[in-house]
Amino acid sequence: MYRLYSFPPSGNCYKLRLLLTQLQIPFQLISVNLRNQETHLPEFLQKNPNGKVPVLEIEPDVFLTESNSILLHLSEETDFFPVDRLERNQVLKWLFFEQYSLGANLSRPRFWITVVKQSEHFASL
């Protein structure tokens, strides 16, 4: 069974939970607490040296990282990733747009509002 290391408020983690569920792929959800800097612990850095979630363990000690790369891995040979080259190009175009245009502009404010501001240290911001 796959193991998904995830921070629940993360949009990049959410899209993997969504696709795994849509594909009816069983997985174990392992919450990683970014507030406690769990992604910087040595045992997590063995899974992803970049210290980021999501991480998908597809077999013992085999880890996939980067959400869109994992989406492509999961969607290959399914209806979520077309066979036709032009249709695949459209999927890739939207994945890149989401990650580097839309996500880059929305994820940082969302992180500050939903994660950092909940911290006692930043609650008064």
Under 8 Å CB-to-CB from 39, ≥6 apart: which residues? 32, 45, 48, 51, 52, 53
Average pLDDT estimate for 90-112: 78
Summarised one tens digit per residue, pLDDT across range 62-94 is 999 999 999 999 999 999 999 999 999 999 999
Maximal C-alpha separation, the chain: 52
Residue 122 scores a pLDDT above 80: no
Q: Among residues 122, 124, 125, which one has the least CA distance to residue 35?
A: 122
- How far apart are the C-alpha atoms of 17 and 22, rounded to whole Å? 9
pTM: 0.83
Summarised one tens digit per residue, pLDDT across range 20-57 is 999 999 999 999 998 889 999 999 999 999 999 999 99
| Confidence at residue 108, expressed as pLDDT on a 0 to 100 scale | 67
Residue 16 in tokens: 């993997």
| Confidence at residue 113, expressed as pLDDT on a 0 to 100 scale | 67
Q: pLDDT tier at 124 (50, 70, 90 boundaries)? A: low
Under 8 Å CB-to-CB from 25, ≥6 apart: which residues? 2, 74
Average pLDDT estimate for 56-62: 98
- Show the domains of the chain with their CATH numbers: 2-122 (3.40.30.10)
- How far apart are the C-alpha atoms of 121 and 115, rounded to whole Å? 11
Are 114 and 14 within 8 A, CB to CB?
no
Under 8 Å CB-to-CB from 107, ≥6 apart: which residues? 11, 12
| Confidence at residue 9, expressed as pLDDT on a 0 to 100 scale | 87
